[in-house]
Structure 1
Amino acid sequence: MLDPEDSAEHKVGSSFPKPFLVFVAMLIVLGAWLLLAFSAFEQKETDFYSFKVVNIRGKLVSLEKYRGAVSLVVNVASECGYTDSHYKVLQQLQRELGPYHFNVLAFPCNQFGQQEPDSNKEIESFARKTYGVSFPMFSKVAVTGTGANPAFKYLVESTGEEPTWNFWKYLVNPSGKVVKVWDSTVAVEEIKPYVTELIRDIIRKKKDEL
């Protein structure tokens, strides 16, 4: 007589043909591999230039275009007590050093005192007409909190320094790593020596490659 347990095993086995079981096993292995690969990708170190952002005219752009240059990343505002002094000197810095592998990268933000309330178009018009701004400007973003722009999240997480007001300044080297951070109270004039030193390093390396 057929053992009841043998009969149960036969029924289970006959319900799932061997090729199907092999296929399922392969899917499990593949899923595990993909999970590991995704985790490794997520853990891969990023840098500031690996992000994409929206410029002030609504176009998605890659910060990769600034790799190899020095960047001074600033959260700007149009109605702040620091607006006039910062915009004037930031533009002066751009004009003097811009041809030598340097850019001010301005990100309007309305999180502090509601001092950047206007639209992107109005912000750009104000900056261009009032200060002759020629450096790149980006769409208005949040720079702190859960809704912060990913590029700014990187700046904050990599430095432990989160903006608490308008015109925080992050100095990013040609490899996309943050090397210095200054708060609103630090004048741009005080930052210039750090910027010029990074630019000298770029020029020296280019000369060594010749």
Structure 2
Amino acid sequence: MLNVGFYFVMYSCSGWCCRAHLQLDLPTRPVRHEPLCCVGSLTVMMLPAALAVLLTIFSLIETKEKDFYTFKVVNIRGKLVSLEKYRGSVSLVVNVASECGFTEEHYKDLQQLQRDFGPYHFNVLAFPCNQFGQQEPGSDKEIDSFVRRVYGVSFPLFSKIAVVGTGANNVYKYLVESSENEPDWNFWKYLVDVNGKVLNAWGPKVSVKEIRPKIAEMVRQIIIKKKEEL
């Protein structure tokens, strides 16, 4: 008997390899060896299984449930930011405009909401939009300067976007699909809970004061829960 040890390596077209060490006791008389093509055949046989695993992984990634806070947007100063920072808070998402008949009332009341509830896990999130009546014609810098100077806005503002149509921002596509309410004018308001789910939507004719009690109750529930967790 002859004792023989050797290594072999298998490569697949995807680039991975497998190396193994074999220790065999071989008879001294000649034996018939399997052709090397068997190694290649084994690799080919393993490819479907490997591809199936990869497809399953990609499928799980793609089907991960989205919510409002999973998106990234550009803020009014041109920086890409994640909405994840607002998770755990109630958000009122509004498409705003500087030259609309609803501008003054809404901006004043939105700022009051931010002032009253901002310290308690609430934010107004404003997205300028020029699609309705061309009433937000200015640049991001001009919009930011105007609302801070005239209305003392302290809530987060984001870069001007489209909220309807084929060019609509993905954030608004999500809001519309989730609420089944598409904005048809400025100052549509979407109420988003702490988990990023859209609870309700109101058009510009519904005042901020009318929905204030709903927001106040949601904020109150957050405060109670936070105290219980202490």
Q: TM-score, normalised by structure 1?
A: 0.88
Partner of 2:75: 55
**CA root-mean-square deviation:** 1.6
Question: What is the match of residue 193 of structure 2?
Answer: 173
C-alpha distance in structure 1 between counterparts of 2:204 and 2:105, whole Å: 11
Residues 98-177 of structure 1: matches in 2 within 5 Å?
98-177=118-197
* Whole-Å separation in 2 of the counterparts to 1:91 and 1:105: 11
In structure 2, the CA distance between the partners of 1:24 and 1:208, relative to structure 1 (3 Å rule), is same
2:117 to 65, 86, 97: 97
Residue deviations 1:114-140 (CA, integer Å, cap 9, x gap): 111111111101111111100000011
Aligned length: 196
Structure 1 or 2, whichever has the larger Rg, is: 2
> Which residue identity lines up with residue 127 of structure 1 in the other structure?
V
Match of 1:187 in 2: 207
* 2-structure distance, mates of 1:138, 1:24: 52
Q: Which of 38, 45, 48 is 2:58 aligned to?
A: 38
The aligned counterpart of 2:40 is: 20
Taking a change above 3 Å as real, the CA distance of residues 32 and 193 of structure 1, as seen in their structure-2 partners, is same
More helix by share: 1
Structure 2 gaps, min length 5: 1-34
Is it true that 1:65 corresponds to 2:85 in the alignment? yes
Indicate the structure whose relative CO is greater, using CA pairs within 8 Å and at least 6 residues apart: 1
Identity of aligned residues (%): 67
Aligned-partner SS, 2:88: coil
Q: Which residue of 2 aligns with 1:7?
A: none
Change (3 A) 1:117 1:23: farther
* TM superposition shift of 1:149: 1.2
Cα displacement string for residues 57-103 of structure 1 (whole angstroms, at most 9, x for unaligned residues): 01011101111111100000111111111111101111111111111
Q: Give distance in 2, aligned partners of 1:85 and 1:206.
A: 33
Task: Output the amino acid matched with 2:225.
Answer: K
Normalized per residue, the structure richer in strand is 2
In the TM superposition, residue 29 of structure 1 has moved relative to its aligned partner by: 2.6
Structure 1: segments with no counterpart, 5+ residues: 1-13
In structure 2, do the counterparts of structure 1 residues 25 and 156 end up closer, same or farther at CA, with 3 Å as the change threshold? farther
- 1:139-193 deviation per Cα after TM superposition (whole angstroms, max 9, x unaligned): 1111112221111111111111111111000011111111111011110000100
